[in-house]
């Protein structure tokens, strides 16, 4: 189904998934039901003055749900409407004894398709429905998404992953009256069945080795006992951080990152020549040939570019890990391009947010973007049967064959 692109990437991504009229109707139904129920629960929070799980303020409290069948333009929808003990709850979004309007349907769909921006919700609700929501009420509505995020962040994971990629993407977030850069730390993985998965997304003050220890500890607490390969950039202290949590994991430093870092210290006139010599290293058939190529590189450039040569020398073991394995495994682990591509997609969806007011606001936007990306990203890795058979040979004592 072809469609004209809008200025809203999240909406474009939703529409791109549609294969025909039936998919469109199903998407409408799912978004409408989820949106109405989220708004109803947020309104109940606002009505009672406390969130679910908190201590009630007075005698009035939640009293389960009633079912209401709504007649919409696409058919009937069964909605769970929260009740309070005093039967005083009269929701604005779905008034008692009234039916839902087409305008409200459009509003709910827009709220979710646009990522639930507070400004969008207030503006659109007032414009099309004639209902004024306060900022606090809108915050309650959007904060209902945080429960979904918390459950997703804590979900159990597989006990073993063949490959894990880690990286951070930085966002401007307001903190204590100042705008600071914080890191959304991302972990992607492929399990032993060959399925790609988004394992974790969390906001940290900075990307440090200590924060990666925290991220990896979180994976372990969620059931990940073993990681065969972990691919990353060359962050200081990361080697010790990985070994502290997963001592048997083999680390591969991204070759592309190493080359970029090297070029930062090379004058423009020498870059082509140095790139040609570096290519001989990472294109070598085995580690010995790579070492021979590096020694030539060292003797040729050490005097002029000592820092570049020293960096390759210091990180040699983790840079050349991939050379010990067959071509199919090499292609999988020698670079972190896969997670950089994922992060680029996150930026596309969140680029309109120049500064987030809070960590939670950033996390909500990033999570909604990730849920759209995962529809295309979480799939079976191409050529996995060959890769898996190779892994069972190289890791015969670690991979459990069912």
Q: What is the pLDDT of residue 293?
A: 96
For residue 292, is pLDDT > 80? yes
CA–CA dist 64, 81 (Å, integer): 9
For residue 166, is pLDDT > 80? yes
CA–CA dist 5, 237 (Å, integer): 44
Average pLDDT over residues 310-339: 94
CA–CA dist 96, 18 (Å, integer): 34
pLDDT digits (tens, 9 = 90+) for 392-401: 999 999 987 7
Q: Would you say 115 and 368 are in contact if contact means Cβ atoms under 8 Å apart?
A: yes
Kindly give, in sequence order, each residue whose CB lies less than 8 Å from that of residue 336, ignoring residues fewer than 6 positions away. Answer: 165, 167, 231, 232, 233, 254, 256, 257
Strand duo 250-253 + 226-232: pairing: parallel
Q: Token pair for residue 366?
A: 């990033």
pLDDT digits (tens, 9 = 90+) for 59-85: 788 888 888 776 665 667 788 888 888
Provide the residue ranges of all domains of the chain, joining segments of one domain with +.
Answer: 9-152, 159-394
Q: Would you say 346 and 366 are in contact if contact means Cβ atoms under 8 Å apart?
A: yes
- Give residue for tokens 């929808």: 77
**Banded pLDDT at 170 (limits 50, 70, 90):** very high
- Give residue for tokens 């290519």: 279
CA–CA dist 184, 198 (Å, integer): 13
Half-sphere exposure of 241 (CA within 13 A, CB side): 19
Q: Would you say 282 and 253 are in contact if contact means Cβ atoms under 8 Å apart?
A: no
Average pLDDT, the chain: 83
pLDDT digits (tens, 9 = 90+) for 223-242: 999 999 999 998 888 999 99
Q: Would you say 124 and 110 are in contact if contact means Cβ atoms under 8 Å apart?
A: yes
Task: Write out the H or E segment, with its range, that includes residue 372.
Answer: helix 359-377
**Banded pLDDT at 109 (limits 50, 70, 90):** very low
CA–CA dist 129, 391 (Å, integer): 58
CA–CA dist 259, 271 (Å, integer): 11
- Give residue for tokens 């003050």: 205
For the sheet with 250-253, list strands across it. Answer: 196-204, 178-191, 160-175, 226-232, 250-253
**Banded pLDDT at 113 (limits 50, 70, 90):** very low
- Give residue for tokens 């969806």: 349
pTM over 0.85: no
CA–CA dist 337, 255 (Å, integer): 10
Q: What is the pLDDT of residue 132?
A: 61
DSSP for residue 132: P
More confident residue, 116 or 162: 162
Q: What is the pLDDT of residue 120?
A: 65
**Banded pLDDT at 25 (limits 50, 70, 90):** low
Average pLDDT over residues 267-285: 94
CA–CA dist 316, 198 (Å, integer): 29
For residue 254, is pLDDT > 50? yes
């Amino acid at each position: 189904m072809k469609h004209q692109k809008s200025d809203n990437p999240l909406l474009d991504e939703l529409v791109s998934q549609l294969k025909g009229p039936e998919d469109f109707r199903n998407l409408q139904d799912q978004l409408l039901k989820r949106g109405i129920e989220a708004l109803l629960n947020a309104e109940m929070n606002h009505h009672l003055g406390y969130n679910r799980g908190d201590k009630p303020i007075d005698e009035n409290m939640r009293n389960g749900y009633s079912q209401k069948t709504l007649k919409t333009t696409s058919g009937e929808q069964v909605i769970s409407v929260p009740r309070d003990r005093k039967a005083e709850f009269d929701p604005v979004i779905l008034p008692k004894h009234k039916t839902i309007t087409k305008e409200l349907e459009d509003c709910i769909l827009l709220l979710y398709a646009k990522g639930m921006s507070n400004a969008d919700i207030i503006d659109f609700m007032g414009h099309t429905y004639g209902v004024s929501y306060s900022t606090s009420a809108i915050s309650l509505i959007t904060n209902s998404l945080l429960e979904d995020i918390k459950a997703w962040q804590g979900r159990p994971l597989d006990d073993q992953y063949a490959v894990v990629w880690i990286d951070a993407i930085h966002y401007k977030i307001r903190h204590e009256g100042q705008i600071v850069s914080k890191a959304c730390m991302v972990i992607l993985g492929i399990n032993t069945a060959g399925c790609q998965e988004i394992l974790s997304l969390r906001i940290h003050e900075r990307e440090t080795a200590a924060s990666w220890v925290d991220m990896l500890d979180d994976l372990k607490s969620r059931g990940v006992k073993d990681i065969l390969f972990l691919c990353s950039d060359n962050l200081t202290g990361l080697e010790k951080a990985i070994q502290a949590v997963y001592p048997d994991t083999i680390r591969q430093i991204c070759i592309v990152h190493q080359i970029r870092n090297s070029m930062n210290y090379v004058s423009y006139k020498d870059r082509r020549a140095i790139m040609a010599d570096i290519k001989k290293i990472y294109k070598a058939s085995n580690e010995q040939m790579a070492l021979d190529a590096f020694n030539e590189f060292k003797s040729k450039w050490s005097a002029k570019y000592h820092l570049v040569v020293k960096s390759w020398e210091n990180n040699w073991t983790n840079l050349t890990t991939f050379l010990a394995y067959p071509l199919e495994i090499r292609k999988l682990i020698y670079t972190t391009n896969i997670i950089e591509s994922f992060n680029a997609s996150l930026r596309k969806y969140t680029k309109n947010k120049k500064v987030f007011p809070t960590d939670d606001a950033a996390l909500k936007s990033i999570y909604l973007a990730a849920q759209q990306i995962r529809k295309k990203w979480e799939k079976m890795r191409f050529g996995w049967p060959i890769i898996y058979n190779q892994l069972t040979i190289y890791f015969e004592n670690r991979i459990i064959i069912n």
